[in-house]
Amino acid sequence: MVNRDIKAVDFYLCLKNESHLIHNYIKQLPALLELCKCGKNTFYERLQKCIELELVTVESNYNIRLASWSKFRQVFLIGGEDFHTVQYDLTKPKANVQYIVKALEIQENKERQIYAVSKELAVNPDVKLAYERLYRSMGVQAPQFSLQSLQAVKRRIFEQGTERSLYEILQSINPSLSRNVKTIAKAHGYKNWQGAAYLKYQLVERGLVEIIKPTPAKCLYKYNKRSDITKRGVSLFGRFYNRELKVATWYQPDEIVPNPAVFSSPAEAQTSLQNPKSQAA
């Protein structure tokens, strides 16, 4: 679902929350603009997009008839149980449905990544073996193997180094669930990374997410000639080499954490959108 589709969903849900039929929308336009929190031109743009997606039809008497929830699920290939409960007051000025949907996409992307990385680890047992071997070489008990502990180890060996065989195995997989702004921009249909940066700002402003900024990791050990670090100041996977200081630095993407007070677990979800002060899909 790209950015224009998400905005169309915002429009559809705002209207659907009022009624399945909007009588003579021309006469009600001022109230509808306030309801949808948009200007007149934006209103017509989103109305047209909803018509293209077959989410609404405009009748000859200017009535707007909204498609059923079954049709909505069909358009976006949503299963019957794929719902989230959202504790959010849609009457607040900054409570736009589109940002709720975008925050949900970020959470669902993390869930997909957890599945993908777990599957990759299952067919690459050498990663866990290398993880345990690394801690044995340090003479300490290895923390329970997880995506978080593997990411911490990757950072540690980047900063402090280890034998090449362990390094290559442990760095061969990416357990991070965070995406940089370029990746988010592509996923949401923005033209450039600035759009994704603005999205992050808006999600924080609306209390939907928290942003955690990782501290850059600096490679301080002397054997700094690995092939995975780009020289001459060019970046590769967030890693930079400062020629003057002769230090490689790894900048990891911000971690975007959905607000647990707003989003419930998908397993607990039962959403109807009948009460704008309690739920949104």
pLDDT digits (tens, 9 = 90+) for 185-202: 988 888 899 999 999 999
Domain boundaries, the chain: 3-80, 215-251
Kindly state the average pLDDT of the residues 179-189.
89
Which two structure tokens, joined as six digits, stand for 273?
A: 């959108």
- Does residue 254 carry a pLDDT above 80? yes
Quick check: 95 pLDDT over 50? yes
Q: Is residue 265 over pLDDT 60?
A: no
- Residue 194 has a pLDDT of 93
Task: Please state, rounded to an integer, the average pLDDT across all residues of the chain.
Answer: 81
The predicted structure's pLDDT at residue 270: 35
What pLDDT was estimated at residue 200?
Answer: 94
Given a cut of 60, whether residue 230 has pLDDT beyond it is no
The partner residues of 56 in beta bridges, in order of sequence, read 66
SS (H, E, C) the chain: CCHHHHHHHHHHHHHHHHCCEECCCCCCHHHHHHHHCCCHHHHHHHHHHHHHCCCEEECCCCCEEECCHHHHHHHCCCCCCCCCCECCCCCCCCCCHHHHHHHHHHHHHHHHHHHHHHHHHHCCCHHHHHHHHHHHHHCCCCCCCCHHHHHHHHHHHHHHCCCHHHHHHHCCCCCCCCCCHHHHHHHHCCCCHHHHHHHHHHHHHCCCEEEECCCCEEECCCCCCCCCCCCCCCCECCEEEECCCCEEEECCCCEEEECCCCECCHHHCCCCCCCCCCCCC
Domain 3-80 architecture: Orthogonal Bundle (1.10)
* pLDDT on residue 69: 85
Please indicate whether residue 79 or residue 147 has the higher confidence score (pLDDT). Answer: 147
Per-residue model confidence (pLDDT) at position 114? 92
